[in-house]
Amino acid sequence: MSVLLPFRALRPSPSAAARVASVPYDVVNADEARALAAGNPLSFLRVTRSEIDLASDVPPYDDRVYARASQNLAELTAHAPLVRDEEPSIYLYRLHRGAHRQTGVAGLFSIDEYDRGLIKRHEKTRKDKEDDRTRHIVEVGAQTGVVFLTHRASPAVRAVTDRATRTPPLYDLTAADGVRHEIWRVTGDDASAIAAAFAAMPAQYIADGHHRAASAARARDERRRQGRASSDSEHVLAVSFQDDEVDILPYNRTVKDLAGQSPEGLMAALRSAGLDVRPGSAAPDRTGAVSMFLGGGWHALTLPAPPRGTPRADALDVEVLQRQVLEPHLRVGDPRTDKRIDFVGGIRGTGELEHLVSSGKAAVAFSMYPVSIADLMAIADAGGIMPPKSTWFEPKLRDGLLIHVI
How remote is the C-alpha of 360 from its chain's centroid? 29
Are the C-beta atoms of 29 and 35 separated by less than 8 Å? no
| pLDDT score at 1 | 82
- CA-to-CA distance for 337 and 321, rounded, in angstroms? 17
| pLDDT score at 306 | 93
- CA-to-CA distance for 373 and 248, rounded, in angstroms? 7
At the top level of CATH, the class of 251-369 is: alpha beta
Which amino acid, 294?
L
**131: three-class secondary structure by DSSP:** helix
- CA-to-CA distance for 142 and 127, rounded, in angstroms? 20
Outline where DSSP puts E strands in 73-199: 82-84, 90-97, 100-110, 119-120, 142-143, 147-151, 171-174, 180-186
With a CB cutoff of 8 Å and minimum separation 6, the contacts of 241 are: 102, 103, 104, 105, 148, 149, 150, 151, 207
Q: Would you list the DSSP string of 200-256?
A: T-S-EEEEE-HHHHHHHHHHHHHHHHTT---TGGGEEEEEEEETTT--EEPEEEEES
| pLDDT score at 229 | 87
Are the C-beta atoms of 88 and 8 separated by less than 8 Å? yes
Are the C-beta atoms of 172 and 392 separated by less than 8 Å? no
Outline where DSSP puts E strands in 264-370: 276-279, 289-294, 297-302, 341-345, 364-367
Outline where DSSP puts E strands in 59-115: 82-84, 90-97, 100-110
What does pLDDT average to in each consecutive run of 10 residues of the chain (406 residues)?
Answer: 96 97 94 96 98 95 98 97 97 97 98 97 94 97 97 97 97 97 97 97 97 97 93 96 97 98 97 96 97 97 94 96 98 94 95 98 98 97 94 96 97
Are the C-beta atoms of 133 and 211 separated by less than 8 Å? yes
| Kind plus residue range of the DSSP H or E element containing 404 | strand 404-405
| pLDDT score at 49 | 98
Phi, psi of 392 (to 5 degrees): -125, 110
| pLDDT score at 345 | 94
| pLDDT score at 352 | 97
The structural domains of the chain, with segments of one domain joined by +, span 4-248+394-405, 251-369
- CA-to-CA distance for 222 and 200, rounded, in angstroms? 31
Angle, CA of 385, 390 and 391, to the nearest 5°: 115
C-alpha separations of 310 from 274, 306, 307, 381 in Å: 20, 6, 6, 16
Alpha helix stretches (DSSP H) within 227-360 = 263-272, 317-321, 327-330, 349-358
Burial of 161 (0-12, 13-18, 19+ CB in 10 A): buried
Strand partners, 105: 92, 240
Q: What pTM was estimated for this model as a whole?
A: 0.94
Are the C-beta atoms of 222 and 208 separated by less than 8 Å? no
Report the interhelical angle of 127-140 vs 210-225 (nearest 10°). 60
Tally the C-alpha atoms within 13 A of residue 30's C-alpha that lie toward its C-beta.
13
| Kind plus residue range of the DSSP H or E element containing 19 | helix 17-20
